[in-house]
Amino acid sequence: MTTLQEAPATRSAPKKKVRRYSTKPRKSITLTLATGVILLYSVVPLLWLVINATKSREGLTDSFGLWFADGEFLLWDNIVSTLTYNDGIFGRWFLNTLLYVVAGAGGATFLAVLGGYGLAKFNFPGRGGVFAVVIGAVAVPGTALAVPTFLMFSQMGLTDTPWAIIIPSLISPFGLYLMWTFANDAIPTELLEAARVDGSGEFRTFFQVGIPLLAPGIVTVLLFTTVATWNNYFLPLIMLKDPDWYPLTLGLNAWNAQATTNGGEVIFHLVITGSLLMIIPLIAAFLLLQRYWQSGLAAGSVKE
Amino acid sequence: MMYTSRRNLLRLAGAVGVASVLAACGGGGDSGTGGETVSADDVTKALEEGGELLIWSWDTTIKPTADAFMAKYPKVKINVVNAGTNADQYVALQNALQAGKGVPDLAHIEYYALSQFALQKQVADLTGFGAPALKDKFAPGPWNGVTPNGGVFGLPLDSGPMVLYYNEEVFKKHNVAVPATWDEYYEAAKKLHAADPKVFIAADSGDAGTTTSMIWQAGGKPYTVEGQNVTINFADAGAQKYTALWQKMIDEKLLSNISGWTDEWFQALGNGTLATLVVGAWMPSNLVSGAPNGAGKWRVAPMPQWEAGGTATAENGGSAMSVMEASTRKALAYGFLEYLTNGEGVKTRLDNGAFPATTADLNSPEFQAKEFEYFGGQKINELFAQSSANVVPGWQYLPFQVYANSIFKDTAGQAYITPTKLADGLKAWQDASVKYGNEQGFTVK
């Protein structure tokens, strides 16, 4: 960081002035150390999860948390037990989660792209009002809406069905806002005008001109909504009673809660292995979509 | 049962669900008589006609029992749903009741929470079903649990007469005698901790269920409930006995601060860090699966006494199964309830590791003769049955105990982590409970 203040006189003479204007990235020990600490902070829990997924119940309590238990490597056995426990309900929960993500996050992304594009590229009366509402909606945590949503849905007879999770997931104010600002910069209005002059209809223009230009932004929103839906806990907790419709978050929590119940079987090792299995798809999604994700985040920061 | 603090938020949500319901029930204070009349013939007819029943329970033994029942009555279909464990389920139940949809026919409710549902007439009074005649089939503790306000609001599913579980290996190693009184317990705590600073006699970082059970055994009666009139007093002789001892334990740092029911806690039970556990008789199956490396080391002894030679015990945890008032198939539900709690279903549940509440099973030679490998072949059921028969009578829970327990950590729990005295902490808990009760439309002193 360079500051505009005069350097105090006690400091040694500044180095070559040229340095200040060079565009070569400079190394900073402090920054490297700080990011290193943050990296460790993020990776250690993951490491813990991987290591402990290889232990038996006894191993979990007998060995050091961040190292493997002596003579035990039960990762495969644990995965098999996780997938077969309770008649293989884990697989069912996994598929439920996938359904909620594909339908919920996919739908939310599609709606956000449609809405963002429309708000960015069409002038209509009341646009300022919509903007205010969207910004306001971003500030409302989903958890606060969960209980009123539950009461509304129970009137409609939708609780305890997949719809109770999918429909609220379709609404992503933040995704809409992101798409809106992104579309503002990513789609030159001249392009749209050219397409109209050439006789293309509005929907065709959107799908053939808009969508390709919006791809980085779409991936960004998709990742956001996917993570949000994948980790959604409170909404399914109050909406769903039937374990057959649980997503993984609720299922694993129910397994964990068995430990606190009289007559319950303690299965921490399966909860840990299940958690590991649960984050693999998310990690894969991030790695695969990383390129788009980064360009999407930086989009709109510089006006070309 | 005990909770984990991460549920506080949920319990709060549940408490909000409870709010103002009382105002809606017209303020009628006497709930002693009520409910409809259903004869044994009605129940038999309902079983023959069949139908669907929805049950909410987190107990793993209900499903196999329901399967056996369906084999016997082919026209009956029972869905058992685990809607969450203890407080989580109460939140879900309150939500469903508020929404007026999705309420189960039968729900698994712990004794401490039952009076709350009973007072709001959300669970059916089974007096008219002939339930009072079953009184002698159940141990006094659990029966007391299902009969708040003079009605019968469910039938006992299991019970939790308290005993002392101790790690014999640790006691032998440090040459400490197993305590028979609470004074000896305190001495043993000092000896063990002095011999090995890593070892604690017990872990307690503040738990409502444990505290009320301890006061119960000491003869304290902090809660008196008569309809809408509630008195809360955590300063009676029984409570003072407990606070005097426990304050010493806290001041001299003789209690480990490991939170109950966590991975760390099970680990400590397995490796000898925690030498004893004073808790209900349902604990063995949790020990077997949660602390497998403690196998062969643990033993059971009677609960330590306040007076040498005494036999008083208390209940800790335990739960009932109740027919919900909103159910449209009460006769059918009652038919299964009888089967489950004092019919053939009891055996199925015992075979699956449940702990009974029925005197016939508690006293059966077969039950008492069972040897447990985990406890070095000890016949622990004998001690459980003995404890069950010696539960101090007359204990009552608040009609808003679920909420009260949820604020225990913020009030009484402070005594474990700050210089606050336990007696003052309990007073703070009392004041907060009184305030909440009055807000809910009760007359609380």
Question: What are the extents of the domains in chain A?
Answer: 31-73, 90-298
Within 10 angstroms of residue B332's Cβ, the number of other Cβ atoms is 27
A121 shares contact with chain B (CB less than 8 Å): no
The pLDDT score that the predictor gives to residue B341 is 96
Residues of B in contact with A155 (CB under 8 A): 99, 101
- Cβ atoms of B166 and B172 within 8 Å: the answer is no
Query: Residue B58 and residue A243: Cβ atoms within 8 Å?
Result: no
With tokens 């006497």, the residue in question is B30
Of the candidates B82, B88, B92, the beta carbon closest to that of A243 is on B82
CA distance A151 to B100: 9
CA distance A210 to A118: 10
Instruction: Please give, rounded to a whole number of angstroms, the shortest distance from the CA of B353 to a CA of chain A.
Output: 7
The pLDDT score that the predictor gives to residue B353 is 81
Instruction: Please give, rounded to a whole number of angstroms, the shortest distance from the CA of B267 to a CA of chain A.
Output: 5
A147 shares contact with chain B (CB less than 8 Å): yes
CA distance B176 to B69: 50
CA distance B274 to B201: 6
Instruction: Please give, rounded to a whole number of angstroms, the shortest distance from the CA of A62 to a CA of chain B.
Output: 7
Q: Which of A295, A293, A276, A297 is nearest to A285 (CA)?
A: A293
- Cβ atoms of A186 and A148 within 8 Å: the answer is no
A60 shares contact with chain B (CB less than 8 Å): yes
Instruction: Please give, rounded to a whole number of angstroms, the shortest distance from the CA of B158 to a CA of chain A.
Output: 9
The pLDDT score that the predictor gives to residue B13 is 43
Residues of A in contact with B82 (CB under 8 A): 243, 254
A267 shares contact with chain B (CB less than 8 Å): yes
Residues of A in contact with B100 (CB under 8 A): 154
Q: Which parts of chain B sit beneath pLDDT 50?
A: 1-32
With tokens 């005993």, the residue in question is B163
A49 shares contact with chain B (CB less than 8 Å): no
Query: Residue B263 and residue A242: Cβ atoms within 8 Å?
Result: no
CA distance A229 to A169: 7
CATH class of the domain whose range is A90-298: mainly alpha
Of the candidates A155, A261, A267, the beta carbon closest to that of B85 is on A261
SS3 B26: coil
Kindly state the DSSP code that residue B161 receives in the 8-state scheme: B
The token pair that represents B182 in the structure block = 């609470």
Of the candidates A61, A243, A262, the beta carbon closest to that of B270 is on A61
CA distance B279 to B184: 18
Query: Residue B102 and residue A263: Cβ atoms within 8 Å?
Result: no
CA distance B133 to B131: 5
Of the candidates A57, A237, A263, the beta carbon closest to that of B285 is on A263
End-to-end CA distance of chain B: 27
> Which residues 175-214 in chain A show a CB within 8 A of chain B?
none
Query: Residue B102 and residue A160: Cβ atoms within 8 Å?
Result: yes
Kindly state the DSSP code that residue A206 receives in the 8-state scheme: I
The pLDDT score that the predictor gives to residue A57 is 81
CA distance B363 to B411: 41
Please name the amino acid found at residue A110.
Answer: F
A144 shares contact with chain B (CB less than 8 Å): no
- Please give the torsion angle defined by the CA atoms of residues A227, A231, A234 and A237, in that order, rounded to the nearest 10 degrees: 130
Residues of B in contact with A237 (CB under 8 A): 10, 84, 88
Q: Which parts of chain A sit beneath pLDDT 70?
A: 1-24, 263, 293-304
Q: Where are the alpha helices (DSSP H) in B56-204?
A: 62-72, 87-99, 111-119, 140-146, 168-173, 182-195
The token pair that represents B122 in the structure block = 């959300």
The pLDDT score that the predictor gives to residue B194 is 96
Instruction: Please give, rounded to a whole number of angstroms, the shortest distance from the CA of A257 to a CA of chain B.
Output: 6
With tokens 């602390």, the residue in question is B291
- Cβ atoms of B88 and B10 within 8 Å: the answer is yes
Count of CB contacts below 8 A, A vs B? 118
Query: Residue A264 and residue B285: Cβ atoms within 8 Å?
Result: yes
A263 shares contact with chain B (CB less than 8 Å): yes
Comparing alpha-carbon positions, the chain B residue that sits nearest to A239 is B92
Query: Residue A60 and residue B61: Cβ atoms within 8 Å?
Result: no
Q: Angle at CA B167, nearest 5°, toward B162 and B172?
A: 130
Residues of A in contact with B355 (CB under 8 A): 262-263
Residue B278, beta-bridge partner list: B164
Residues of A in contact with B54 (CB under 8 A): none
Residues of A in contact with B158 (CB under 8 A): 262-263
The pLDDT score that the predictor gives to residue A296 is 52
The pLDDT score that the predictor gives to residue A300 is 52
Residues of A in contact with B88 (CB under 8 A): 237, 257
- Residue by residue, DSSP assigns A66-134 as TSPPTT---HHHHHHHHHHHHHHHHHHHHHHHHHIIIIIIHHHHHHHHHHHHHHHH---TTHHHHHHHH
Comparing alpha-carbon positions, the chain B residue that sits nearest to A272 is B263
Handedness of CA B1, B5, B7, B9 (dihedral sign): positive
Q: Which of B82, B76, B16 is nearest to B51 (CA)?
A: B76
Instruction: Please give, rounded to a whole number of angstroms, the shortest distance from the CA of B79 to a CA of chain A.
Output: 10
